[in-house]
């Protein structure tokens, strides 16, 4: 195997697995689309619940709000836009890399969620939630100038979360749950030509998957008749993605790879206050421990080469959100909210083409309607403004390529939720 192709394999794996995020609608590569009910107020009430089964996703202790059995299910249609602006350049040791700007890399996706909560007795409840907490779907034109940094990205993390809650007192509830995540990825990028051996430029395609476990904890406190406080914790989940890489130009060096991906822990805290019988407001904080994502270590299991380490150096983040809802007429509720969501990416050096992440501002509205005492429907809409961000990223290989430029980005999210109580 030539030295060029050995390092190309490492680079393709390293960059692909390090860059989970183009589709993500929270900072880093997390997805905030827990349910459409809370989407309408920018998830400001994430840790204090929403009175429906879907509230357990933000805080399993919120299951205490369900008497009998509650079921909730919904979809969020996400339309992101990520565009590299004119003037961008890509440079390797052989000179400028020719190509266009790649078009709009954002790919629309539909994100599902489902929850069911059942009351066992007066003090205990059990539930299970299905969500997609991390994911991406981006695609550039195949001949774009940053093709060595990435072309197509398809990553999905599906999470199953069974949980149990206990009312310690009439005012205080606690809960714990098991987090089981399945991750799968398909990522492609271009490979440079091997001039010494006369091998043309080609593509590398990586596929891999993994199961991993974590846990979550929750607390919900009705401090006064009008004010409740919620706190929830989600552990980090460490994935070891096993897969293979295939080359279009040199298929004889196809092989197996393994990459460790440490998903961060998080803490959500919310205060919700009822100003009147029909008006409620929430202030929410969400801390995410992105500093655990300090490096990506890739092992080429068949070549015997040393581990490939890509430095990430991300920062922890604190998302701040405010929102509220108003029952303005019988059966009707209107919601609104906003949030500031900072990026964990510390500088242009660590920003990648697959994840041109930037600080985000959320603006959200929503509407709810009770069809009858058992059924309700919620709609939510959010527009996310991302700050313009610069990229100055170098691929980690002897034949490195440096991508420099500026991205403009925005996201639209439309969600529908159906809830039932029996």
Q: Which domains does the chain have, with CATH numbers?
A: 3-421 (2.40.160.60)
* C-alpha–C-alpha distance, residues 120 and 116, integer Å: 13
How many residues are present in the chain?
Answer: 422
Q: Which of residues 5 and 367 earns the better pLDDT score?
A: 367
Cβ(267)–Cβ(287) below 8 Å? yes
Question: In degrees, to the nearest 5, what angle opens at C-alpha 192 toward C-alphas 191 and 198?
Answer: 115
The chain-wide mean pLDDT, for the chain, equals 88
Give pLDDT, residue 297: 67
365-397 burial: b if 16+ Cβ within 10 Å, else e: bbebeeeeeeebbbbbbbebebeebbbebebbb
Give pLDDT, residue 197: 73
- Which region among 23-27, 36-40, 267-271, 393-397 has the lowest average model confidence (pLDDT)? 23-27
2: pLDDT confidence band, cut at 50, 70 and 90? very low
Q: Any idea which residue has 């293979």 for tokens?
A: 244
Give pLDDT, residue 116: 98
pLDDT greater than 80 at residue 279: yes
357: pLDDT confidence band, cut at 50, 70 and 90? confident
Pairing of strands 255-263, 295-300: antiparallel
pLDDT greater than 80 at residue 27: no
- The top-scoring range by mean pLDDT among 162-176, 185-199, 290-304 is 162-176
Q: CB neighbours of 304 closer than 8 A, spacing ≥ 6?
A: none
Give pLDDT, residue 275: 97
């Amino acid at each position: 195997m030539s030295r060029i192709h050995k390092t190309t394999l490492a680079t393709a794996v390293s960059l692909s697995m390090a860059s989970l995020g183009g589709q993500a609608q929270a900072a880093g590569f997390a997805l905030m689309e827990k349910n459409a009910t809370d989407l309408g107020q920018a998830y400001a009430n994430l840790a204090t619940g929403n009175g429906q089964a879907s509230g357990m996703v933000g805080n399993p202790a919120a299951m205490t709000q369900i008497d009998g059995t509650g079921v909730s299910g919904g979809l969020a249609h996400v339309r992101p836009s990520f565009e590299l602006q004119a003037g961008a350049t890509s440079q390797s040791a052989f000179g400028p890399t020719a190509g266009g700007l790649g078009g709009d890399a954002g790919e629309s996706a539909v994100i599902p969620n489902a929850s069911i909560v059942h009351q066992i007795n007066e003090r205990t409840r059990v539930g299970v939630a299905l969500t997609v907490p991390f994911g991406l779907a981006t695609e550039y034109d195949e001949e774009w100038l940053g093709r060595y940094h990435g072309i197509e990205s398809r990553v999905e993390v599906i999470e199953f979360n069974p949980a149990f809650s206990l009312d310690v007192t009439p005012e205080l509830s606690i809960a714990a749950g098991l987090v089981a995540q399945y991750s799968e990825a398909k990522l492609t990028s271009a490979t440079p030509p091997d001039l010494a051996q006369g091998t043309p430029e080609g593509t590398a395609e990586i596929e891999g998957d993994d199961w991993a476990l974590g846990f979550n904890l929750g607390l919900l406190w009705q401090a006064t008749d009008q004010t409740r406080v919620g706190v929830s914790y989600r552990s980090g989940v460490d994935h070891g993605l096993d897969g293979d890489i295939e080359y279009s130009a040199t298929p004889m060096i196809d092989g197996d790879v393994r990459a460790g991906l440490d998903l961060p822990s998080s803490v959500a805290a919310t205060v919700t206050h009822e100003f009147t019988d029909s008006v409620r407001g929430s202030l929410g904080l969400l801390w995410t421990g992105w500093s655990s994502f300090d490096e990506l270590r890739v092992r080429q299991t068949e070549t015997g080469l040393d581990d490939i380490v890509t430095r990430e150096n991300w920062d922890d983040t604190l998302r701040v959100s405010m929102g509220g809802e108003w029952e303005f007429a019988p059966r009707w509720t209107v919601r609104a909210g906003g949030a500031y969501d900072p990026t964990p990416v510390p500088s242009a050096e660590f920003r990648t083409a697959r994840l041109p992440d930037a600080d985000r501002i959320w603006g959200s509205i929503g509407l709810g309607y009770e069809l009858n005492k058992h059924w309700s429907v919620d709609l939510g809409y959010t527009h996310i403004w991302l700050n313009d961000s610069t990229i100055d990223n170098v691929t980690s290989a002897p034949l490195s390529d440096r991508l420099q430029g500026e991205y403009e980005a925005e996201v639209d999210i439309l969600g529908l939720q159906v809830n039932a109580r029996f």
